[in-house]
Amino acid sequence: MEQLIHYVWKHKFFPLSPLTTTDGKRVEIVDTGLPNKDAGPDFFNAKVKIDGTLWVGNVEIHDKASDWFLHGHDKDSNYDNVILHVVGVSDTRVKKSNGDTPPQLLLPVPEHVATHYNELKTSDTYPPCYKIIPNLSRLMVHSWLSALQTERLEQRTKAINARLKLCEDSWEAAYFVSLARNFGFGINGEAFEQWATNIPFRNVDHHRDDLFQIEAIFMGQAGLLDLDYLSEQQRTKAAEDEYFLRLQSEYKYLAHKFHLKPIDGRLWRFLRLRPQNFPTIRIAQLAHLYYERRSNLSALIDCQTIEEVFELLQTHVTPYWENHYTFGGEASKANKKTLSKASLQLISINTVVPILFAYGRYKMSEKLIDRAFAFLEALKAENNHIVRMWEEVGLKVESAGDSQALIQLKKEYCDRKDCLRCRIGYEYLKSNKE
pLDDT tens sequence across 385-400: 999 999 999 898 999 9
- How far is residue 182's CA from residue 277's CA, in Å, rounded to a whole number? 11
Nearest to 318 by CA among 204, 216, 169: 216
Q: Quick one: pLDDT at residue 432?
A: 67
Q: Are 314 and 301 in contact (CB under 8 A)?
A: no
Q: Quick one: pLDDT at residue 310?
A: 98
Q: Mind listing the pLDDT tens digit for each residue in 328-345?
A: 877 667 888 999 999 999
Alpha carbon distance, N-terminus to C-terminus of the chain: 22
Q: Quick one: pLDDT at residue 433?
A: 57
- How far is residue 297's CA from residue 128's CA, in Å, rounded to a whole number? 42
Q: Are 229 and 151 in contact (CB under 8 A)?
A: no
Q: Quick one: pLDDT at residue 69?
A: 96
CB atoms inside a 10 Å sphere around CB 27? 18
Q: What parts of the chain have a pLDDT lower than 50?
A: none
Give me the chain's average pLDDT, please: 93
pTM of the model: 0.86
Instruction: Please state the φ and ψ torsions of residue 290, each to the nearest 5 degrees.
Output: -65, -45
Q: Quick one: pLDDT at residue 294?
A: 95
Which amino acid, residue 202? R
Instruction: Please state the φ and ψ torsions of residue 34, each to the nearest 5 degrees.
Output: -100, 130
Q: Quick one: pLDDT at residue 434?
A: 52
Q: Quick one: pLDDT at residue 156?
A: 96
Q: How many CA atoms lie within 13 A of 180 on its CB side?
A: 28
- How far is residue 153's CA from residue 272's CA, in Å, rounded to a whole number? 31
Nearest to 193 by CA among 182, 202, 203, 209: 182
Q: Quick one: pLDDT at residue 15?
A: 78
Nearest to 351 by CA among 387, 303, 414: 303
Residue-wise over 170-181: b if at least 16 C-beta within 10 A, else e? bbebbbbbbbbb
Q: Quick one: pLDDT at residue 191?
A: 97
Q: Are 20 and 46 in contact (CB under 8 A)?
A: no
Percent of the chain residues topping a pLDDT of 90: 81
Q: Quick one: pLDDT at residue 283?
A: 98
Instruction: Please state the φ and ψ torsions of residue 29, each to the nearest 5 degrees.
Output: -90, 110
Q: Quick one: pLDDT at residue 25?
A: 95
Q: What string of DSSP letters covers 195-228?
A: HHHT--HHHHGGGTT-HHHHHHHHHHHTTTT-GG
